[in-house]
Structure 1
Amino acid sequence: MLAGTAVLVTGAAVALAAAGGQGTAGPKGDGTAVTPVGYKVTPAGHQVQLGNLPLNAVLSPDRSMLLVSNAGQGTQSLQVVDPADSEVVQTLSYPSPQAVFTGLAFSPDGKRAYASGGGREIIHTYDVSGGRLTETAPVKLPTKNPDGKAVNMYPAGIAVTPDGKRLVVADRLADAATVVTLADGSTQTVAVGHAPYAVALAENGRTAFVTNQGGDTVSVLDIGGDKPEVRSAVKVGTHPNAVVAGPGQDTLYVADGDSDEVSVIDVPTRKVTRTLSLAPYRNAPVGSNPDALALSEDGRQLYVANAGNNDIAVIDLKRGRTAGLIPTAWYPTAVVPLDGKLYVTNAKGLGAGPNNGPGHPDPTSTAPQSPDQYSGSMMKGTLSAIPLDGGDRQLRRWTRTVVANNGFDEGNSPRAVGAVVPRRVGERTPIKHVIYVVKENRTYDQEFGSLKKGNGDASLNLFGDESAPNARALQRRFVTLDNFYADAEVSAQGWNWTVAANSNPYSEQGWPANYSGRNHSYPSENGDPAIAPNRDPDHAYLWQRLDDKGVSFRNYGFYVNADASGQAVAEDPVLNAGTDHGFGPYNLSCPDSAGTFPARSKTCGSPRIEEWKKEFTQYEKDGNLPAFEMVRLPNDHTSGTRAGMPTPQAYVADNDWALGQLVDAVSHSPFWKSTAIFVTEDDAQNGPDHVDAHRTISQVISPYTQTGRVDSTFYSTASMVRTIELLLGLRPMTQFDAYATPMVNSFTARPDDTPYDAVKPTTDLTAVNTVNSPMAGVSARQDLTKEDQIDERTFNEAIWKSVRGAKSVMPAPRHDLYGAVPDDQAAELEDDD
């Protein structure tokens, strides 16, 4: 049953216009920031820099050590923090393929510590003495099942039994749990639910509760006998992650990461007795994304880290409702109460900022660089030490801050120009057809820096009128969007944001290991219910919402893979039913447009745009163009300077020529007067940009946007999704698209129906890299079979040198955690790094 739904804002609560006044994304130089979606970040308390993507923190039994795991894409680490002054006193580094993950635990006597090793299939072990860790021999987990088949256990959450003799491990990618006898390292493994994440012990260590993050259950294990046995499964909310036991261990609290709730389990009966809502306002869609829990020292309050809303919810357990909210930095992941303070780890700190140099990292060497050098890992995590001595008055002030930061108190009427984008779902619009084009991994400055319109840096422009004439002409002629941000750092998150307006905790925790060779599966673009960021995984994506409403759609390349015959197939049956199986999936050996594409594979079929045009011509003939088309054009990703593959300029030209032909075809068709074409990248990756590493390419192409104006409104991926939803009559999927400013300022009520004539790039579409191309050897070692399984830092350097010359120096990505600092402090900060 639902108990005590928190209503923090009683009026209209969807902030459709709030983000427009936020300026630009990134750190602001005063200890605050703005996230790419537009939320303001104003963390309470004292801030300390941590490593890359801190995901968990635990307190030692004697309360003298705070142990933090940093599990990001770059160098992972464990850090020991002294709570007395919140300073990091020890860092144990784990460069890839070494790894740590979320699981952390101390032995009951505090003399030993344990950390899960993720894709290394081990549990790290440590001696604890004098406030420091000394690593000892790891515990090795099984690598084969009883049938002899290889398994990937990927240990996540761990818990030590009260007698200190055994360790219970959640095996995230094996759908299992393992009980380790610490004396001899022997293991016993049992199957649980999908993607188990965290472990809590009760009944004096005889019973283990394991959250199944990929589903909606908590597995109950009897570990008191000779071998562990699963006794039952308790149904909770969607994608449960963190779990904590109450005083006396007769109550468990479970964070339901994608239904924005806490499930309260009665241990003796194994039943949910209460469900505590984390919705920030009445009828809020999901998006709070709770991912960490802790009980106050007196047991009267539950602290919940809402990763999506950048806050800690303080729940009054007696009343069963949220008493208030505490602002954190971006993406809080752990909360630890101690001596009147809260210690909160923030995975993304204050965000990215510009990455155009000068400053660190130093890319002057052409040798392979550390993976800590691009958008996926340039952001530093932080620790917030928050005093709680301000009482109810301070909590009320903090709550008002969170409400203002996230726009929970704003009205629900966007600033409209003309009458094209509906102000509310169901209102009339002249737009009857939406085409959504998603490309791969470019920043604004890489393609539009020299446009001479908008906020560009010409020195960073790599692809000009010779290789991207259509994108640049469309940006000039229709609307120039120079303040648009990808809500993701990389493709694994980006595709989730592109079609579901969120990237959930499972994906946020898993992609760094996948990208850095640490043995995690790709948490995106597939049918795994664990990655679906919504209360109901079967209704999490745009196409599912359209199908629910009976709105027609056609898919060209989204969320598909090639079958044995080369046909594109989607795992989701709803998407597969609307998919053109002849339109090729992501494959850099297949052309977007050029029939003479040099790397063309035998399984490619027609160039992507030719396949799309074939169906579009038939829709013209029959007069039945679907209301929504999704078109994937991936080749602006490029293959760097890999020998035998197209040059970066040729790849971008191939991609640009495809886009130009698509707009040409639509604008010369009867559908032009009622169509809007939206174009963006799934993410910005590590291309240089002088505003923020998340700033990317965005275009809105329609008779109603053919104005030649510059629109510098703060927009993001969620804004584009929200605009599409309003045009197609869909309600927001999450709090993020509900909040994001619709792209209304890009439209005018006075259409210009002049068609667009595509321009073929002058770049040689058949040009290929040679063994003498800059950094060809480095590029040859990159894995390009799937998006972004590469060292993006060296990959982008190769592209830069290919365009600008082998001896040119790519501007260094720059990240200033707290904004610009005086020169005399720079050395001190670098020493701290």
Structure 2
Amino acid sequence: MLVGRLPFALTLSPDRQKLYVTNLGMFQYQPIPGADPQQARDTGLPFPAFGFPSAEAAAGAERLTARGKVQVAGLGDPNARESNSLAVVDVSNPVAAKVETFIPTGVPFAEKSDGGSSPSGVVAIANRVFVSNAANDSITVIDSRSNRVEAEIPIRIPGLEQLRGVLPIGMAYHEKTGWLLVAEAGINAVGVIDTRENRVIGHLPAAWFPTRVAIYQDTVFVANARGHGRGPNAPGGPRGSLLPTQALQGSLSVFPLPAAEDLPHQTALVMEANGLIQHGNPPAPLPAAIRHVVLIVKAGRAYDEIFGDIATASNGAALGSPEIARFGTRGYVDGRGKRFSFKDVNVTPNHHGIARQWAFSDNFYADSDAGEDGRRWLVGAYPNAWTASSLIAAASDQRKDFRMGSAPGRLLFPGPAAFVDPEDQPEGGTIWHHFARHGVTFYNFGEGIGAPVLTNVPMPQPLYGNTSRQYPGFNTNISDQYRAAQFIREMDERYVKGGAELPQFLFIRLPNDAMDDPRPEAGYPYDASFVEDNDYALGRIVEYLSGSKWWNEMAVFITEDGAQGGIDHVDAHRTILLAAGPWVRKNYVSHANTSFPGLLKTIFRLLRVPPLNLWDAAATDLSDLFAGQADGARYKAVAVDPRIFDPAAVHVGPVP
């Protein structure tokens, strides 16, 4: 039975005559005509077919593959009845079940929302049905007798009412009090709604990313998808930490339902723990002279394996573990019994050179568990229930992944080059929507592109119109030397010789430190060769930027899309964060505890735009990295060890 797009949550009515199913998809996607995953380069598109929203996305467009022209199907109406809705199914006769109607929930895609409502949970009681709209931070109340929406209950944070990020998902109803309990994945809490008044009356603390809640008598059970975090993943870590193979471990919270008079105290704890209480202290000032921000995103390394060997900076000690700094200045390159191994090799001279010349953090964390969700975090699209669950399914023993066939939902499973699709977009959109709204110019090198495109899944329209068509995305068959050369070439052609105005924000993907199996014939005799490739390309890009006419007005940030490929003695999510530029402190280590939203908050403040969502609004920024006076010293890229990676020997063009 077809019930809508990406059916996600379901429940039966108390009399078991009706089945309610939430549909959190926006579109039903289709393959590119003739697309074949086994011949992707010949049958796929080199770039997404269109941006969304656009006339082409709605109606379709003619595009070109290596085999010729194809007519790519349009997506139709983003607010179709099967989209972001509740399907009501008559199951009084289970062998002849039929859909009665579709009820749209939450805010439709329009001027007030850059995404769908993402209905992610549903509960039915005697005469009402409650649906949680994860993207809108709201609960839709439906009269089950008439199938009409009777109310929308907003879940808002005092003082930050215009921002979203609570992420309501699963729910449970307590009949005695009339309370609806809502798992609030975005603030690690359970919301309490008085259904007699249709208003939020409090929040209860839970663990990390609660997704489901149940009630038995007066006892509450909460399933927390990310539990209490992962802890260290270095060999020989402290007792209680996870084994290196245990990437995900949830938890179950069990507690008695509190009395109404206890809710204010519990709510205050939730607000304080999430940084949502505004204490009135003004943020530290940032250099007003900065007009351009560059964000370079790499792929998957943890802090200790790169910087664990840095003992001190100019302002004191750095927290590292030198014995696991396998890609540090005294690294270890393993030949795996097939070729010579090397000890005391400087694998990342440019990472360390940038850290010595400018600043780094030893307390910066990836919010992601994998690169796929990391790339969403880094563009302001905090993962919703669909994204989080599909990523977990793809990483589990089920190995659910992108697949062409009779199940259209499988076409949306994210891959290593996946961009933010319409189902991922929060109500406020991504940083691309945010910048466009506030008149901030930007240009993208490599984010959201990579493998040939086999479907009509669109790219966000602001990104589609501001992305290089020549710079390659995620593909470790392409050297980062080619990426560095292509970036420099386009910068020269567009902004130096071409005279165009340099955008205020540049995003650069530099992914080869994700590593791959050794390919000696291609110039990668070791897996560490990919890290050296990445390191030297990073040095070349920073050298180029530091020699440009924009340098005195520029700040450069360098991070990873996650720490999933590395090891760390503090936490498996701790990753690298570098800052460079004339206004950045020299040889400075930041101890500010923050993560991807804190990085975005810093970028927004530098570019003079307001917060995008609750995550960056509440985050600790990186203002301590900046100095009061500028030093325009340039950077000179450091050559890497040619025994591990020889830039002169590697193929520096696109994949042959």
Find the counterpart in structure 2 of residue 74 from structure 1. Answer: none
Find the counterpart in structure 2 of residue 348 from structure 1. Answer: 226
Q: Choose from 252, 277, 284 the match for 1:409.
A: 277
Q: Distance in 2 between matches of 1:354 and 1:519?
A: 27
Find the counterpart in structure 1 of residue 424 from structure 2. Answer: 531
Normalised to the residue count of structure 2, the TM-score between the two structures is 0.78
- The within-5 A match list for 1:638-677 is 638-641=515-518, 646=524, 647-677=526-556
Q: Choose from 360, 374, 381 the match for 1:480.
A: 360
The residue identity in structure 2 corresponding to 1:481 is: S
Find the counterpart in structure 1 of residue 299 from structure 2. Answer: 440
- The within-5 A match list for 1:14-25 is none
Find the counterpart in structure 2 of residue 155 from structure 1. Answer: none
**Cα distance change of structure 1 residues 384 and 275 upon mapping to structure 2, 3 Å threshold:** same
Find the counterpart in structure 2 of residue 201 from structure 1. Answer: 12
Alignment of 1:558 onto 2:434:
no
The residue identity in structure 2 corresponding to 1:321 is: R
Alignment of 1:573 onto 2:461:
yes
**Cα distance change of structure 1 residues 327 and 348 upon mapping to structure 2, 3 Å threshold:** same
Q: How far off its partner does 1:338 sit?
A: 1.8
- The within-5 A match list for 1:762-781 is 762-764=641-643, 766=645
Alignment of 1:287 onto 2:165:
yes
For 2:379, what is the secondary structure of its paired residue? helix
- Deviation string, structure 1 residues 349-390 (Cα, Å, up to 9, x no partner): 21122122316999xxxxxxxxx9547x444322222123x5
Contact 2:18–2:92 (CA under 8 A) maintained in structure 1: yes
For 2:378, what is the secondary structure of its paired residue? helix
Identity of aligned residues (%): 31
Contact 1:560–1:570 (CA under 8 A) maintained in structure 2: no
Find the counterpart in structure 2 of residue 543 from structure 1. Answer: 432
- The within-5 A match list for 1:697-712 is 697-712=576-591
Contact 2:180–2:192 (CA under 8 A) maintained in structure 1: yes
The residue identity in structure 1 corresponding to 2:423 is: A
**Cα distance change of structure 1 residues 570 and 271 upon mapping to structure 2, 3 Å threshold:** closer
Find the counterpart in structure 1 of residue 348 from structure 2. Answer: 468
Q: Choose from 496, 499, 517 the match for 1:620.
A: 496
Q: How far off its partner does 1:576 sit?
A: 1.9
For 2:212, what is the secondary structure of its paired residue? strand
Find the counterpart in structure 2 of residue 177 from structure 1. Answer: none
Find the counterpart in structure 2 of residue 611 from structure 1. Answer: 486
Q: How far off its partner does 1:203 sit?
A: 8.1
Contact 1:467–1:763 (CA under 8 A) maintained in structure 2: no
Q: Distance in 2 between matches of 1:386 and 1:447?
A: 42
**Cα distance change of structure 1 residues 205 and 495 upon mapping to structure 2, 3 Å threshold:** same
Q: Distance in 1 between matches of 2:5 and 2:422?
A: 9
Alignment of 1:263 onto 2:103:
no
- The within-5 A match list for 1:630-779 is 630-641=507-518, 646=524, 647-764=526-643, 766=645
In terms of mean alpha carbon deviation, does 465-474 or 660-669 score higher? 465-474
Aligned residue pairs total 538
Q: How far off its partner does 1:460 sit?
A: 0.7
Contact 1:686–1:693 (CA under 8 A) maintained in structure 2: no
Alignment of 1:395 onto 2:263:
yes
Contact 2:275–2:619 (CA under 8 A) maintained in structure 1: no
The residue identity in structure 2 corresponding to 1:655 is: N
Contact 2:235–2:244 (CA under 8 A) maintained in structure 1: no
- Deviation string, structure 1 residues 528-548 (Cα, Å, up to 9, x no partner): 32222x12xxx5211122222
For 1:693, what is the secondary structure of its paired residue? coil
- Deviation string, structure 1 residues 2-23 (Cα, Å, up to 9, x no partner): xxxxxxxxxxxxxxxxxxxxxx
Q: Distance in 2 between matches of 1:711 and 1:501?
A: 26
**Cα distance change of structure 1 residues 691 and 351 upon mapping to structure 2, 3 Å threshold:** same
Contact 1:361–1:373 (CA under 8 A) maintained in structure 2: no
**Cα distance change of structure 1 residues 220 and 298 upon mapping to structure 2, 3 Å threshold:** same
Q: How far off its partner does 1:666 sit?
A: 0.9
Contact 1:414–1:741 (CA under 8 A) maintained in structure 2: no
Query: Root-mean-square deviation (CA), in Å?
Result: 2.5
Q: Choose from 223, 227, 237 the match for 2:96.
A: 227
- Deviation string, structure 1 residues 433-461 (Cα, Å, up to 9, x no partner): 11111000111111111123211111011
For 1:471, what is the secondary structure of its paired residue? helix
For 2:583, what is the secondary structure of its paired residue? helix
Q: Choose from 354, 357, 374 the match for 1:494.
A: 374
Q: How far off its partner does 1:222 sit?
A: 3.2
For 1:480, what is the secondary structure of its paired residue? strand
Q: Distance in 2 between matches of 1:260 and 1:443?
A: 33
In terms of mean alpha carbon deviation, does 519-528 or 442-451 score higher? 519-528
- Deviation string, structure 1 residues 193-215 (Cα, Å, up to 9, x no partner): 22111122338434322101224
For 2:440, what is the secondary structure of its paired residue? coil
Q: How far off its partner does 1:409 sit?
A: 1.5
Contact 2:381–2:429 (CA under 8 A) maintained in structure 1: no
Q: Distance in 2 between matches of 1:230 and 1:653?
A: 57
Q: Distance in 2 between matches of 1:695 and 1:224?
A: 53
Alignment of 1:430 onto 2:289:
yes
Contact 1:560–1:571 (CA under 8 A) maintained in structure 2: no
Q: Choose from 396, 399, 415 the match for 1:518.
A: 399
Contact 2:233–2:243 (CA under 8 A) maintained in structure 1: no
Find the counterpart in structure 1 of residue 384 from structure 2. Answer: 504
Q: Choose from 243, 251, 255 the match for 2:122.
A: 243
Q: Distance in 2 between matches of 1:707 and 1:761?
A: 23
Q: How far off its partner does 1:497 sit?
A: 0.6
Q: How far off its partner does 1:406 sit?
A: 1.2
- The within-5 A match list for 1:324-343 is 324-343=202-221
The residue identity in structure 2 corresponding to 1:267 is: S
- Deviation string, structure 1 residues 99-158 (Cα, Å, up to 9, x no partner): xxxxxxxxxxxxxxxxxxxxxxxxxxxxxxxxxxxxxxxxxxxxxxxxxxxxxxxxxxxx
Contact 1:222–1:231 (CA under 8 A) maintained in structure 2: yes
Gaps of 5+ in 1: 1-188, 363-371, 421-428, 594-606, 769-784, 786-833
Contact 1:439–1:682 (CA under 8 A) maintained in structure 2: yes
Contact 2:451–2:475 (CA under 8 A) maintained in structure 1: no
For 1:355, what is the secondary structure of its paired residue? coil
Q: Distance in 1 between matches of 2:120 and 2:360?
A: 42
Normalised to the residue count of structure 1, the TM-score between the two structures is 0.62
- Deviation string, structure 1 residues 175-210 (Cα, Å, up to 9, x no partner): xxxxxxxxxxxxxx22x3221111223384343221
Contact 2:169–2:185 (CA under 8 A) maintained in structure 1: yes
- Deviation string, structure 1 residues 813-832 (Cα, Å, up to 9, x no partner): xxxxxxxxxxxxxxxxxxxx
Find the counterpart in structure 2 of residue 586 from structure 1. Answer: 474
Q: Distance in 1 between matches of 2:260 and 2:458?
A: 52
Q: Distance in 2 between matches of 1:199 and 1:468?
A: 50
For 1:305, what is the secondary structure of its paired residue? strand
Q: Distance in 2 between matches of 1:447 and 1:292?
A: 40
Find the counterpart in structure 2 of residue 100 from structure 1. Answer: none
Find the counterpart in structure 1 of residue 253 from structure 2. Answer: 384
For 2:598, what is the secondary structure of its paired residue? helix
Q: How far off its partner does 1:309 sit?
A: 0.8
Gaps of 5+ in 2: 27-83, 107-116, 313-317, 330-345, 403-412, 648-654
Q: Distance in 2 between matches of 1:570 and 1:751?
A: 42
Q: How far off its partner does 1:495 sit?
A: 0.9
Q: How far off its partner does 1:293 sit?
A: 0.4
Contact 1:523–1:531 (CA under 8 A) maintained in structure 2: no
